[in-house]
Amino acid sequence: MMQATRQQVEPVAKAVVGDLAIEFYDDGSAVMAAALTIECTRCSALHDLEGVEVSFTPDLAWHLLQAVRQHLPPDAYRQAQAATSQAIGGPES
């Protein structure tokens, strides 16, 4: 029986935008996590959505990185940019 091995990825940058926490990883991917409370429009019940995560492949993480650039320190942006660029095989600019 063959077991799949998962490569360990390390975070290179983290941005916090409102209730969203976005982490960029050294493999070029990104994860956006949210802690939200939503209200049902029909019954007005409140629902907490904590730990909701959305994963982004490097090609989509690139666009997310550009959108949150102003929320990252310059060094963190450059590290995330380099990792994402390398993963998608594009330019590092």
Q: What is the DSSP string of the chain?
A: -----PPP--EEEEEEETTEEEEEETTS-EEEEEEEEEE-TTT--EEEEEEEEEEE-HHHHHHHHHHTGGGS-HHHHHHHHHHHHHHHT----
Band of the pLDDT at 90, cuts 50, 70, 90?
Answer: low
pTM score, whole prediction: 0.76
| 1 vs 74: which has the higher pLDDT | 74
Domain locations along the chain: 11-88
Digit-coded pLDDT (tens) for 10-44: 999 999 988 889 999 999 999 999 877 778 888 88
**Does 69 score more than 60 pLDDT?**
yes
